[in-house]
Amino acid sequence: GMAGSGRSELMSVLFGGSHLDSGEIYINGKAVKHSSPKSSIQNKMCFITEDRQNTGLFLEQTIAQNIIIANLINVKKFIQKRSDDHKTAEKLMKLHNIKAGSSKVKVVALSGGNQQKVVLAKWFNTNGEIFIFDEPTRGIDVGSKQEIYQIMVDLLKQGKAIIMVSSDMPEVISMSDRVIAMKKGELIALLKKDEVTEENILKHSIGGKEI
């Protein structure tokens, strides 16, 4: 959908960040109630927001602190060794090719691409099953984009589910198995893989009728 189509608002509802006015959310055939992001995380959902600096990261905290924060919800006892946090962070930094001297570096000092990879590492640490990517490559360099795409492909190979919101047309076409077009908060069209073309997406996003 175009800007203002309600796509990001829908993702917020799915993750429990906004109130669901009507309808139900199902995961693996079971209805779930996401009253808050906490309940969504407990249902193994992950949300990579479009505004990583304001809603995805604690910029003045270290890489390690950012990586472990989401998983604290799944840990009964919050008290753990700081050395264990850094070991976990260093492992995920290597996995995601996060370029920094150590996990003790503050996130504010990183490039946009590396900040986005810290967001991904944070959610990887929760062992999530459903990943919502809202504008995952906005504001990052070409090299980091390719790394993000590969991470998404690897997630799919592991059997994870991905919902992606993007205004980058080539990204939508190359990365999607199905595309839902939205306009003014309404679902307009569901396009299968062989129907996912720039012409079809624009036709439904700009014009089109509600499905």
**pLDDT tens digits along 28-68:** 899 988 778 888 998 999 999 988 988 889 999 999 999 99
Dihedrals phi, psi of 37, to nearest 5 degrees? -55, -30
Classify residue 210: in a domain, yes or no: no
Helix (H, G, I), strand (E, B) or coil at 68: helix
Contact 134, 8 (CB under 8 A): yes
Classify residue 209: in a domain, yes or no: no
Residue 106's closest CA among 53, 58, 55? Answer: 58
Classify residue 85: in a domain, yes or no: yes
* Residue type (1 letter), 24: E
pLDDT over 90 percentage in the chain: 52
Q: Which domain holds residue 154?
A: 7-184
pLDDT over 70 percentage in the chain: 91
The band of 211, judged by pLDDT with boundaries at 50, 70 and 90, is very low
Classify residue 80: in a domain, yes or no: yes
The stretch 172-191 carries a mean pLDDT of 90
User: How many CB atoms sit inside 10 A of residue 102's CB?
Assistant: 12
Classify residue 200: in a domain, yes or no: no
Mean pLDDT of the chain: 87
Structure confidence at residue 167 (pLDDT): 87
Dihedrals phi, psi of 170, to nearest 5 degrees? -60, -35
> Residue 96 is part of a domain; what is its CATH number?
3.40.50.300
Classify residue 204: in a domain, yes or no: no
Q: Which helix (H) or strand (E) holds 131?
A: strand 130-134
pTM (predicted TM-score): 0.85
Residue 76 or 53, more confident:
53
Distance CA 186, CA 191 (A): 15
Environment class of residue 151 by beta-carbon count within 10 Å: exposed (0-12), middle (13-18) or buried (19+)?
buried
Distance CA 124, CA 122 (A): 6
Residue 56's closest CA among 118, 111, 12? Answer: 118
The stretch 139-144 carries a mean pLDDT of 90
Which two three-digit tokens encode residue 174? 């190359």
The rounded Cα 172 to chain-centroid distance in angstroms is 15
Which two three-digit tokens encode residue 172? 């939508």
Q: Which helix (H) or strand (E) holds 178?
A: strand 178-183
Residue that is written with structure tokens 């260093």 in the block: 90
Classify residue 1: in a domain, yes or no: no
Structure confidence at residue 80 (pLDDT): 54
Classify residue 106: in a domain, yes or no: yes
Q: What's the structural domain count of the chain?
A: 1
